[in-house]
Amino acid sequence: MRHLILALLFLLPLAVIAHDDMAAMHMAKGPQLGASAAFDTHGRLWLADAADGHVRLRHSDDLGKTLSTPIDVNAQAEPIYDSAENRPKIAFGPHDELYVSWSQPRAKPYTGFVRFVRSLDGGAHFSAPITVHHDRAEITHRFDALAVDGRGRVVIAWIDKRDLEAAHAHGKRYLGAAVYYSWSDDEGRTFVPERKLIDQSCECCRIAIARTPQGDVAVFFRSIFGDNIRDHAYAVLPADGQPSHAERATFNQWQIAACPEHGPGLAIGTDGTRHAVWYESEDKPTIWYGQLDPGQPPQHAQVVANAGASHADVAVHGKTVWITWNRVNANGYALMLQRSLDNGTHFDAAREIAQSVDAVGSPQLLQNQDRAFVAWNTVDGFRLIPLDAP
């Protein structure tokens, strides 16, 4: 019930806070709920989370019914952020290379380094962890987002406060943070010096990341426009040295001098349609869906859910679009789903597909061949919920 009360308070507009939870600054004393799941090319499900100072991997060959013995990817324990917004990530290369990233808290509050390991033998052995960015100042480099582009290059984006620190050192105002990114073209052995994508991003909302039909990596994230208007921006991250450019992509005009800790979701169809979900709470908590048209308001924009709703994700396969989110209610948490069969123009009525009486992590939509699933980490254990009949 304590978790439920806290969640209800958080969903009130006045409860939005300026910084993320500092509890993650210490090593977890057991498994936490910030987890990421992914299918490899053979249909094996992998789950990445953190426990006792280690990022650990488990896999399943029966669609999540049973999980293997955990494998620690970092041999030496270290602090690890493992909240829903800042959880360990997992991705796969074209030849089953296994990549894992996470954010490591440093000694000062709200600081971190982006960490990375790789396995080239299916998870039997992992490289020693490396810090992705060349900048080693004890500031924010965290909320990492991980993807592999169409040429097999590993791309990582994160929230970074080096420009905030520089501005403050010169007595200048600077809102929020910045988004930086880097890439590796040698299977994660090394990363190029980081590049800045944009100034004045939100401080602690996760970055949504997806691959375009052309094989590039795109990001969708909460940015800051004007005087603390916390809308979202979209950009493609070229991993070949070409310049990148972020454009405003939502126009809800939510003005608040704080971070809501609610990152968006992004899925890009084979036709290039950029399906997105995002959260805002100008008048009341609201999850939106729309098709991004960077520089212009989203097309087919519509409200998905209101009070009690949080942390949505989106996926697309052909003309089918799924949206999932958490909803808090008097009995705990409900996992909600909406589906569109016409590429996001219209959606079925929302329906509840699972429940939990205690705390839950953010849901994550996954696809394996022609099937869709929701990965949902709860206090009672990890769940993989199929959305379509086999």
Where along the chain do its domains lie? 2-386
DSSP calls for 192-209: PPPEEEEEEE-SS-PPEE
Query: One-letter amino acid identity for 198?
Result: I
Cβ-based neighbour number of residue 324 at 10 Å? 31
pLDDT tens digits, one per residue of 326-338: 999 998 999 999 9
pLDDT of residue 1: 42
Residue 18: pLDDT band with limits 50, 70, 90: very low
Phi then psi for residue 2, to 5 deg, are: -55, -45
Phi then psi for residue 3, to 5 deg, are: -65, -35
The residue-averaged pLDDT of 356-375 equals 94
pLDDT tens digits, one per residue of 146-171: 999 999 999 999 999 999 999 999 99
Q: How far apart are CA 259 and CA 230, in angstroms?
A: 8
| Residues in contact with 186: Cβ distance below 8 Å, sequence separation at least 6, in sequence order | none
Backbone angle region of 49, left / alpha / beta, with phi > 0 → left and psi within -120 to 50 → alpha: beta
Q: Where are the alpha helices (DSSP H) in 16-87?
A: none
pLDDT tens digits, one per residue of 244-257: 999 999 999 999 99
Is a pLDDT exceeding 50 seen at residue 29?
A: no
Q: How far apart are CA 188 and CA 194, in angstroms?
A: 14
Q: How far apart are CA 276 and CA 298, in angstroms?
A: 9
pLDDT of residue 213: 98
Q: What is the DSSP letter of 223?
A: B
What's the pTM? 0.92
pLDDT of residue 370: 86
2-386: which CATH topology? Neuraminidase (2.120.10)
Is a pLDDT exceeding 80 seen at residue 13?
A: no
Share of the chain above pLDDT 90, in %: 86
- Asked if 98 and 45 count as a contact pair (C-beta separation under 8 A), the reply is no
Strand partners, 99: 91, 118
Residue given tokens 């009672």 in the structure block: 380
In the chain, what is the straight-line distance between the N-terminal and C-terminal CA atoms, in Å? 36
pLDDT tens digits, one per residue of 208-234: 999 999 999 999 999 999 999 999 999
Q: How far apart are CA 138 and CA 267, in angstroms?
A: 33
Average pLDDT, the chain: 91
Tokens of 89: 């990530």
Is a pLDDT exceeding 90 seen at residue 7?
A: no
Q: Where are the alpha helices (DSSP H) in the chain?
A: 2-10, 162-169
pLDDT of residue 25: 36
pLDDT of residue 167: 97
CA 326 to chain centre: 15
pLDDT tens digits, one per residue of 67-124: 999 999 999 999 999 998 999 999 999 999 999 999 999 999 999 999 999 999 999 9
CA 251 to chain centre: 21
Is a pLDDT exceeding 80 seen at residue 50?
A: yes
- Helices vs. strands in the chain: H and E counts, helices first: 2, 27
| Residues in contact with 354: Cβ distance below 8 Å, sequence separation at least 6, in sequence order | 334, 335, 374, 376, 383, 385
The residue-averaged pLDDT of 340-362 equals 95
pLDDT of residue 390: 42
